[in-house]
């Protein structure tokens, strides 16, 4: 069965926004799960994830309602927000893919020094102490500290950081291109809705 005009745009926008709703709920759920089971003790990390998930949920809900209800104002607002998200997202994705090893090390050290709770989480998870050197005079929650056999966390973090950056950059680019594909759909949907509501204007444009 072939669809055309507003029907295809409506179905495509609805499907994509349902996907975004599921992703947003997953992000919020992962943050809550990590906090509940004590995997993440940093309120900044949990709050950031919940904030991003909530923002994505609201934007997706606006797009879904606009597509289903044929609401021109919501579709226009959704398109503007989606464009701004696209600019930020593709910038971050390109930065993740283009970052070199020295820049990566500097960013990791800055992030390490900004949060003591995150330091404890990393030390406990990766079984290491300190960032670039081990200092047994400070408190360390890693199991290896009991036997004084710990290694610095920088080496272990860098083993996973590059893979994470490539993954985040790739996923970000994928969603950026889906947003590029949604924009023409929003344009066409908004135009078709306005044409339906104003048939005289549609006739004049056609002539």
- Secondary structure (H, E, C), 39-67: CCCCHHHHHHHHHHHHHHHHHHHHHHHHH
How far apart (Å, rounded) are the C-alpha atoms in residues 177 and 73? 24
Name which residue leads in pLDDT, 83 or 31.
83
Q: What pLDDT is stored for residue 190 in this prediction?
A: 52
Tell me the H-state helices in the chain.
Answer: 6-36, 43-69, 72-98, 101-114, 116-126, 153-197, 199-206
Express each pLDDT in 112-153 by its tens digit: 788 777 788 888 888 888 888 887 777 787 888 777 778 888
In this structure, the number of other CB atoms found within 10 A of the CB of residue 53 comes to 20
pLDDT of res. 186: 56
Closest to 5 in 3D by CA, of 193, 145, 155, 205: 193
pLDDT category of residue 207 using cuts at 50, 70 and 90: very low
* pLDDT band at 77; cut points 50, 70, 90: confident
**Coil, strand or helix: which one is 194?**
helix
pLDDT in tens, 18-29: 888 898 888 888
- Which DSSP letter does residue 130 get? S
């Amino acid at each position: 069965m072939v669809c055309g005009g507003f029907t295809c745009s409506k179905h495509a926008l609805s499907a994509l926004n349902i996907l975004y709703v599921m992703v947003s709920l997953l992000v919020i759920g992962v943050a809550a799960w990590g906090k509940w089971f004590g995997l993440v003790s940093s309120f900044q990390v949990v709050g950031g994830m919940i904030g991003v998930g909530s923002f994505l949920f609201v934007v997706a809900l606006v797009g879904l309602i606009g597509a289903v209800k044929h609401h021109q104002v919501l579709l226009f607002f959704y398109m503007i927000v989606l464009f701004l998200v696209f600019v930020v997202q593709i910038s971050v994705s390109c930065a993740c893919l283009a970052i070199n090893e020295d820049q990566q090390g500097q960013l990791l050290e800055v992030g390490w020094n900004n949060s003591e709770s995150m330091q404890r989480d990393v030390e406990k998870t990766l079984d290491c102490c300190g960032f670039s050197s081990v200092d047994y005079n400070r408190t360390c929650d890693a199991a290896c500290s009991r036997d004084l056999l710990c290694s610095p966390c920088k080496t272990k973090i860098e083993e996973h950081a590059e893979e994470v950056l490539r993954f985040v950059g790739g996923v970000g680019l994928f969603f950026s291109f889906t947003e590029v594909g949604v924009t023409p759909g929003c344009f066409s949907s908004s135009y078709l809705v306005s044409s339906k509501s104003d048939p005289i204007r549609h006739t004049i444009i056609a002539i």
